[in-house]
Chain A
Amino acid sequence: MKPGSTFAACTALVRRDFTLIWRRRGDALNPILFALIVVALFPFALGPEPENLRRIAAGIVFVALLLSGLLALDTLFRGDYEDGSLEQLVLSPHPLALLLACKVAVHWLTTALPLLVVAPLLAEMLNLPHGVLPVLLTALALATPLLSLIGAVCVALTVGMRRSGMLLALLVLPLYVPVLIFGAGACNAAQAGLAYLAPLLWLGAGLVLAVVLAPLACAAALKISLS
């Protein structure tokens, strides 16, 4: 690996991000804890009857993970913005979109992947039929990177704002709705015994598009917010 090459830059960035997160590895539990709390609240709100919970289990798990992901989005650029390394990243001679794609990948691995691991537990808490679980996990595996990529573009627009929480939620909501519809829709279809492949394929197509386009959009958005 040639020092100074783009590949070296990406590896260095990935290693740095992982190291920084490892130093605060306790924080990785926050999204998991939040998702657990959200899911746990529903039986208290709706009553413990398994039949009731079963009908909306997949949807609740999806929304809980979506909200946890939304909270976790803030950490994507905040640390780098505050210590000035984000500006250095934007100024670097290497393709910004590629560097940002690496950042989002590390962010997904450290925030969403733990949630995916916890998802079966959440599903079990809500009595999701076991046959639906593989569909749920597939849908989540396709949806969460999509949510991270779309979210990254919106976070780039609000980077540096002190109290951007509500604004960020407002910005991502219209973009998250289709992902949620197809993701949870696939699970609900599977649960009803209907065909569920089509929405999963739509999610996959969206993910492929997002992997290519979102880093570019994110780079453009960062250049606007940091100008």
Chain B
Amino acid sequence: MNALTLWFHKIGSPPTFYRIAGALAPWLFGIAFVLGAVALYGGLVMAPRDYQQGDAYRIIFIHVPCAWMSLFAYAFMAVNAFIALVWRIKLSELLAMASAPIGAAFTFVTLVTGSIWGKPMWGTWWTWDARLTSELVLLFLYLGVIGLYHAIEDRRQAARAASFLALIGIVNVPIVHFSVNWWNTLHQGQTVRLMGESKISGDMVWPLLVMALATHVWFFASLFARTRVGLLELEGGKDWAREVALADGGGRS
């Protein structure tokens, strides 16, 4: 077995992953926090006012990165779901299930910030345009995966069922997007044309990209934290988990 395969197998072992993820997670949270703060300063303070939308466009600095992450999280979940179903790797099951709530959080923030941005821009809290509607369906997909995972008692069977659902969902996402797009063209007369094509200046791009990076780092930080807990739940009877529980004592985090 060569070094890479050996490393891969070691990573998949619960106590090893628990330790490595535990060491990395605080750093990742820290980096995400710093990057986020820098991005927010750039977006709220340094970036100039947009000539069309005034200051309202500043919501873009959280809305767009969250939208990107809602899709990234689903793709990450689907890849791990596939690995979990085909190769039955415990760690992949847990990674897939841990991505779901994080992805749902990003989707929720995307929808809420999009709605809030919509009010001054289009005069309405909600509009059934293709992207917002597809994002809403994405939220339901996430909630379905989370709901199914928590409805089944056996954790490994639950992860397999929810992973299967996640894969069905990912096939469905392009179908939904396509159908919602068509549906919007059918009712073209009523829909308001969204944000006009305003050239986005360099001053506005860099906070967006930095925030995008920050949200990616945050995703992995949160993923590691949640997967560690999932490992403890799954392996509660094993020696390594007991040692962790006893070392933790009572009350300390």
Contact = CB atoms under 8 A, between A and B. Distances in A.
Contact of A170 (B147, B168, B179): B147
Interface residues of B, number: 26
A157 B161 contact: yes
Contacts of A182: 179, 182
A83 B146 CA distance: 29
Given A164-B151, A177-B176, A171 B165 contact: yes
B172 A174 contact: yes
A117 B152 CA distance: 38
B179 A157 contact: no
B182 A157 contact: no
Contacts of B147: 167, 170-171
Interface stretch (A62-70, A136-144, A217-225): A217-225
The size bracket of the interface on A is 20 to 34
A5 interface: no
Interface stretch (B37-45, B61-69, B99-107, B136-144): B136-144
6 contacts: A170-B143, A175-B172, A178-B172, A185-B186, A202-B179, A220-B164
Interface of B: 137-138, 140-141, 143-144, 147-148, 151-152, 157, 160-161, 164-165, 168-169, 172, 175-176, 178-180, 182-183, 186
Given A174-B140, A221-B164, A225-B152, 14 more contacts: A157-B164, A157-B165, A161-B152, A167-B148, A170-B143, A178-B178, A181-B179, A181-B182, A181-B183, A182-B179, A189-B186, A194-B186, A224-B160, A227-B160
